[in-house]
Structure 1
Amino acid sequence: MRADSRWTTAVLVAGVLTLAACGGGDEGGGSGPGGLSVPRIEKLAALGAGEGEVNIVSWAGYVEDGSTDKTVDWVSPFESETGCKVNNKVAATSDEMVTLMKTGEYDVVSASGDASLRLIYGGDVAPVNTGLIANYKDIFDGLKDKPWNAVNGVAYGVPHGRGANVLMYRTDIVKPAPTSWGAVFDPDSPFKGRITAYDSPIYIADAALYLMKSKPDLGIKNPYALDDTQFDAAVALLKEQNKAIGEYWADYTKEVQAFKAGNSVLGTSWQVIVNLAKADRAPVEAVLPSEGATGWSDTWMIAAKAAHPNCGYLWMNHIVSPRANAAVAEWFGEAPANKLSCAQTVDKNHCTTFHADDESYFDQVWYWTTPLAQCVDGRTDVTCKDYAAWTQAWTAIKG
């Protein structure tokens, strides 16, 4: 994993903080338990002229300028309309995003929940003045003011979209089609050596999610809140799974090629990978297993010391505009954040397919959340394993 001491320090600090509101003004900041503070950083008061460029860190598929597919381009219209040239850096993992944002070289990031809190408590991102983002009013209410994009009642970002981490499989090899995550945790799997998994400490939550249903006596209520016994069970399951793993993936292009070649035939994936694999004529499909899934609710966040804050705000407003948000949602394979985007998709069934406004579906998805020592499931009688512990365990799991 691309991790370093800078974000690890932020995690250790965040690990003893509560996510509950605890005071603080509308500029961010405020005290947490033990006197530790969320850094007080002022949000942008008013929009000025664009600075001519914006430096972005994003997930693959979020910032498309026609170079991947000439028909897929929401960057060029933005550049023409604003005069802000987009310089984009694709990050393979949330850990890489945190590390890149700490360099101070980037203005905006599309952070998932396992990165956003580290960035907030580390003082790397600023509160967002949502009044300067015209399209914010049309974001689904179910995505606003969540524990991973708001702290102390202050918004720290603009919701982008959401989706599940699905189970992908080769339809010509894996028969019958899998319906449970048990397919990737089966020690006697006939696909040993061709099972794949996401290469990140946050993948421990996938094992915990499976154990929630398969071993209810463990008492796991939230896959990101694991006490010693629960954590040890998840780690043991993943160490056993390691024997059947052909390769772990972080680079989406490598997983596409692995499934196309048949080196991987079963494992966790993102819908964009499924889409690209199908475009490469790989016989794949994906399902949301019976146990539910982990998933993401991504947030556009502005750097605390952004060199190009005005272009950054213009980008955040553009990417969640009805047309651009519809385009990226279809390309990536996710539910858009802007409720008006559903009328802009080429596939008029897209929002139905991806459950854009179906909260009952997303009740089955456990969004990536930074594990904290103070259990995020509300328990106060035990200490949970924080992200630093998850990172150490992940190294041991992979061997």
Structure 2
Amino acid sequence: MFRTASAGAAVLLAATMLLSGCSAGTTTTGTRAQPPKEKMQSSVGTGEGQLNLIAWAGYAEDGSNDKTVDWVHPFEAQTGCKVHTTYGATSDDMVQLMRSGQYDGVSASGDATLRLIYAGDVAPVNTKLVPNYATISPFLKNGKWNSVNGQMYGIPHGWGANLLMYTPSTVTPAPTSWSAVFTDSGAYKGKVTAYDSPIYIADAALYLKATKPSLGITDPYSLTAKQLAASVALLKQQNTNIGEYWSDYTKEVQAFESGTSVVGTTWQVIANLINSDKKVKVETIIPKEGATGWSDTWMVSTKAKHPNCMYQWMNWITSPKVNAQVAEWFGEAPAQTLACSETSDPNFCAMYHATDAAYAKKIAYWTTPTKDCVDGKGTDCTSYTDWVNAWQKIRG
């Protein structure tokens, strides 16, 4: 995954991340591997005066990009923790940086979190030491991407869905299913767009889970070799109708505005940008099969030299006012339920379905595929390395 901030919002961009199964240091208990035992902090003392972060662009704004957008300096003034931020271009970058031992924490996405957990790079988080955790949306807690066996390994920050976007003046009748970009994509041959990343395989798996129950898919990130092969076959079929794969969000904006794309996967912030330009009108939906999505988590390094400052940061970044600022700048739903009363746009949380549990339930959040199935069904699932290899064959 690759991210950047633009037009007052940061948007996810894609990149290929090589990711294998659990590390050699893990042990297996039941049907899901146990991460290495790492010490969990029991109290938060005085800040150590410094905090070294790895973050996505837009998550630790200090006024450099926009003097009115700054939640770093107020944090420093309150805690005495001087923030130094290194921006990660990809999830793979972040994993490698964390393994250097030079950083206190990271804003990790679901396609990297398990890698960090099972490698022993991040510590279990004592949520009792983060008061603002209590009012974070329940559906973001104890997820397969940010916890193992009921133990949280971070504090949820923000989230979003991978939506189906279409141009209603061209795509008729209005689609209600992902079939519009899979089995029925021939109707708009050459004008279908798809997300350019191996994690997009999960979108195909989610569709097959609903339409071909005989495959036995229970989780789009826990695929056996047979289930992965079926997803790949569907994506190869789709490939013949794809006009453009996108990873740079500006390219999708341009494609829809020019009419070279009329239907495909997207994020709400992208649809907002297109509609704000008023060159063309687009609509977005979560189809009847549901959707994949993403949830970001602040995680603490096992080698953190400034753990007290890191815990103070996690509480600060999920405080209502600050989490609202981040969400509006980045273009995502805030994790903090109380943030909705702090947004400058009173309709912001409604637009992003921030506290809508029923909406969130339709989303299968990005989770690192591992040999040890993340849904706990066994140990014969495919790893992310398998997905990367498969994606290369799909794209050609």
Shorter-chain TM range is 0.7 to 0.9
Structure 1 position 294, deviation (Å): 0.7
1:362 and 1:145 map into 2 onto residues whose CA distance is 14
- 1:363-396 CA-to-partner distances (Å, cap 9, x unmatched) read 211111222333344434x822222222221121
Partner of residue 288, structure 1: 286
Identity of aligned residues (%): 55
Deviates more, 1:260-269 or 1:337-346: 260-269
Q: Is 2:266 aligned against 1:269?
A: yes
- What letter matches 1:135 in structure 2? N
Q: 1:232 to 1:204 in 2, by over 3 A?
A: same
- 1:116-150 CA-to-partner distances (Å, cap 9, x unmatched) read 11110011112223333232222233322333222
Q: Is 2:211 aligned against 1:210?
A: no
- 1:323-371 CA-to-partner distances (Å, cap 9, x unmatched) read 1112223344443222222222233344344333332222211111222
Higher relative contact order (CA 8 A, sep 6+): 2
CA contact (8 A) 2:61 2:69 kept: yes
Partner of residue 370, structure 2: 372
Q: Tell me which of 108, 129, 133 is aligned to 1:132.
A: 129
Q: Is 2:314 aligned against 1:316?
A: yes
Q: Tell me which of 173, 197, 215 is aligned to 1:200.
A: 197
Partner of residue 237, structure 1: 234
Structure 1 position 12, deviation (Å): 5.9
1:197 and 1:348 map into 2 onto residues whose CA distance is 32
CA contact (8 A) 1:15 1:373 kept: no
Q: Tell me which of 113, 117, 131 is aligned to 2:114.
A: 117
- 1:222-266 CA-to-partner distances (Å, cap 9, x unmatched) read 212222332211000111222222333334344444444544433
CA contact (8 A) 1:275 1:333 kept: no
Q: Tell me which of 142, 145, 165 is aligned to 1:145.
A: 142
Q: Tell me which of 28, 35, 44 is aligned to 1:38.
A: 35
Number of aligned pairs? 379
Partner of residue 386, structure 2: 389
Deviates more, 1:250-259 or 1:159-168: 250-259
1:335 and 1:123 map into 2 onto residues whose CA distance is 29
CA contact (8 A) 1:167 1:288 kept: yes
- SS at the partner of 1:162? strand
Q: 1:51 to 1:262 in 2, by over 3 A?
A: farther
- SS at the partner of 2:345? coil
Structure 1 position 293, deviation (Å): 0.2
The CA RMSD over aligned residues, in Å, is 3.1
2:25 and 2:392 map into 1 onto residues whose CA distance is 21
What is the TM-score normalised by the length of structure 1? 0.82
CA contact (8 A) 1:164 1:270 kept: yes
- 1:280-319 CA-to-partner distances (Å, cap 9, x unmatched) read 5553332211211011222111222235434433321111
Structure 1 position 274, deviation (Å): 2.8
Partner of residue 224, structure 2: 227
Q: 1:373 to 1:367 in 2, by over 3 A?
A: same
Q: 1:340 to 1:187 in 2, by over 3 A?
A: closer
Partner of residue 48, structure 1: 46
Q: Which runs of 5+ in 2 are unaligned?
A: 1-14
Structure 1 position 85, deviation (Å): 3.1
Q: Is 2:162 aligned against 1:165?
A: yes
1:263 and 1:50 map into 2 onto residues whose CA distance is 53
Structure 1 position 186, deviation (Å): 4.1
Deviates more, 1:382-391 or 1:347-356: 347-356
What is the TM-score normalised by the length of structure 2? 0.82
Q: 1:79 to 1:205 in 2, by over 3 A?
A: same
- SS at the partner of 1:340? helix
- SS at the partner of 2:313? helix
Q: 1:388 to 1:178 in 2, by over 3 A?
A: same
- What letter matches 2:127 in structure 1? T
CA contact (8 A) 2:194 2:245 kept: yes
- SS at the partner of 1:125? coil
CA contact (8 A) 2:189 2:243 kept: yes
Partner of residue 153, structure 2: 156
- SS at the partner of 1:39? coil
- SS at the partner of 2:53? strand
1:264 and 1:130 map into 2 onto residues whose CA distance is 44
Q: Which runs of 5+ in 1 are unaligned?
A: 22-31
Q: 1:19 to 1:398 in 2, by over 3 A?
A: farther
